């Protein structure tokens, strides 16, 4: 059996990768995580009960945590990081410390071990400044120059660490002889995606806060939303392809929509009858974002299958059920832009 490790495997994308591999591959899987996003839920417990899944809990910002892992893996998924707009604005120093430590410790562990194929998961945030300041092409290809618009702004601390990760993983791979691929995600959505993103915020505001008027923060901005199943498929294709070594892939959907359209579609789901009002968004938020996925089409055979409307509805159904059961968010959720 091939051996797989998923660093950050208890998170939204990592756990869905694990489930996909359980259902579609005959692999031995190790999930490594510190459970910083909350307790184990039934979804995670079901995955961990599989006989081919092993869980290692640890603080991987510390080198000693890697001593609990094997040194040899056929596939290594590096997803571990702290993410979230509110986090970048409120704890930027921790974003730098945690994400940088995770990157450097993982690279040193890979240098000393014998992992064969590695994927480092990155972000479209890396080129936000290029889009906003220089009007670069949208949909945006992988060869875009990476930049941020204000090095002192806390909003960009996450992007800075992901730029470091891209460079670090690609160059360590060349120096220490392992295959490496970079995947840049673009607004991945789905059930159980956490509480620090726009769609969980909308569910909370419509269902729990019952806001009226409903302020449409960043109404005129655009995004392209990618269903979790498509993101997982693209990631697995990237790490397992014989054409992906040393390459960067944009994984997402190329259907660009406005935030206003997203908000009103969510309002329709919750049968909202109130008034909408336009409002400014979070500081540092990019105006437009949509990936060119031609390279992923050609190299990987990656084609998103789930329409954003279907993915949105499935996600909102999950959050509606969650809140109506009386569950509470396992991490701090919606905060108004003016408060952060």
Residue 130 tokens, joined: 């290029």
pLDDT of residue 330: 58
The dihedral formed by the CA atoms of 114, 118, 121 and 126, expressed in degrees to the nearest 10: 90
Whether omega for the bond prior to residue 254 falls within 30 degrees of 0, making it cis, is no
All domains of the chain in start order, with CATH: 2-189+225-251 (3.40.50.720), 198-223+255-288+307-329 (3.90.25.10)
Q: For residues 249 and 184, what is the distance between their CA atoms, to the nearest angstrom?
A: 6
pLDDT of residue 86: 77
Grouped pLDDT means (10 residues each) for the chain, 340 residues = 96 96 97 85 93 97 97 97 85 96 98 96 96 93 95 94 98 97 98 91 94 96 98 98 98 98 98 96 86 98 98 97 81 66
pLDDT of residue 164: 98
pLDDT of residue 338: 64
pLDDT of residue 339: 63
Q: Kindly report the pTM of this predicted structure.
A: 0.95
Chain centroid, CA 67 distance in Å: 26
Query: Which of 308, 301, 314, 288 has its CA nearest to residue 226?
Result: 308
pLDDT of residue 162: 98
pLDDT of residue 90: 87
């Amino acid at each position: 059996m091939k051996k797989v490790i998923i660093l950050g495997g208890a998170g939204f994308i990592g756990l869905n990768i694990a489930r996909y591999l359980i259902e579609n591959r005959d692999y031995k899987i190790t999930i490594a995580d510190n459970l910083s996003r909350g307790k184990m839920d039934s979804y995670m417990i079901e995955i961990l009960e599989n006989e081919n899944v092993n869980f290692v809990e640890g603080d991987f910002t510390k080198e000693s945590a890697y001593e609990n892992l094997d040194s040899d893996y056929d596939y290594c998924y590096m997803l571990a990081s702290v993410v979230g707009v509110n986090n970048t604005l409120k704890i930027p120093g921790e974003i730098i410390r945690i994400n940088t430590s995770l990157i450097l410790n993982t690279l040193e562990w890979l240098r000393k071990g014998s992992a064969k194929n590695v994927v480092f998961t990155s972000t479209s945030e890396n080129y936000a400044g290029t889009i906003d300041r220089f009007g670069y092409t949208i949909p945006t290809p992988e060869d875009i120059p990476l930049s941020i618009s204000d090095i002192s702004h806390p909003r960009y601390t996450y992007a800075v660490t992901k730029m470091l990760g891209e460079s670090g993983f690609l160059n360590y791979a060349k120096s220490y002889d392992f295959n490496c691929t970079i995947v840049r995600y673009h607004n991945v959505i789905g059930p159980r995606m956490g509480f620090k993103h726009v769609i969980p915020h909308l569910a909370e505001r419509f269902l729990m806060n019952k806001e009226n008027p409903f302020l449409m923060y960043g109404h005129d901005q655009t995004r392209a939303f990618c269903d979790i199943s498509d993101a997982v498929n693209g990631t697995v294709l990237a790490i397992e392809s014989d054409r992906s070594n040393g390459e960067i892939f944009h994984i997402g959907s190329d259907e660009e929509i406005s935030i206003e359209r997203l908000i009103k579609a969510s309002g329709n789901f919750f049968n909202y009858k109130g008034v909408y009002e336009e409002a400014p968004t979070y500081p540092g938020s990019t105006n437009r974002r949509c990936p060119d996925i031609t390279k992923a089409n050609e190299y990987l055979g990656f084609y998103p299958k789930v329409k954003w409307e279907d993915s949105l509805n499935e996600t909102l159904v999950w959050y509606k059920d969650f809140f109506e059961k009386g569950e509470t968010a396992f991490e701090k959720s919606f905060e108004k832009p003016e408060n952060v």
